[in-house]
A = this chain, B = another copy of it.
């Protein structure tokens, strides 16, 4: 479905999404108009979902990462209501429903452990149906990317 040139374009965009099209065209050996058309097509097909700036969390007081296991009472989770309530919390970056454990795994970013406590107390355990939480705080991050290796 995607040929070598398109994969090449995506790899370039994964590194530097704000690169000019003409530079991409030089790198992949196509005319700028051809590159433009390929990118457009991939955007329309939903292969490319968008472009994001990567901000440095340290500069925005979002240095503390934590993962939280959220257990709940099944009676309150119709249509994933709890997952949606968790997703609405701004400090939470990821909400996953985990197989087998009947629980959600949540990733969040806050300034420090004090703020972590506040979010837990004020925003998470107050969700109707949430029974308990189990927090793992991160001491060090060795890798953190949304990149997928393209093949």
Chain A positions near chain B (C-beta within 8 angstroms): 10, 13-18, 45-57, 59-62, 65, 67, 80, 83-84, 86-87, 90-101, 104-105, 109, 136-151
A86 touches B137 (CB 8 A): no
Contact partner of A54 (CB less than 8 A), chosen from B100, B142, B146, is B146
- Chain B residues, Cβ within 8 Å of A80: 140, 142
Minimum distance in angstroms from A85 CB to a CB of chain B? 9
The answer to whether A16 touches B50, judged by C-beta atoms less than 8 angstroms apart, is yes
* Pair B60/A49 contact, Cβ less than 8 Å: no
The residues of B that contact A143 with a CB separation of less than 8 Å are: 86-87, 92-95
- Please name all residues of chain B whose beta carbon is closer than 8 Å to the beta carbon of A97 when the two chains form the complex: 138-142
Contact A51 B17 (CB under 8 A): yes
Q: Report yes or no: B53 in contact with A10, Cβ–Cβ below 8 A.
A: yes
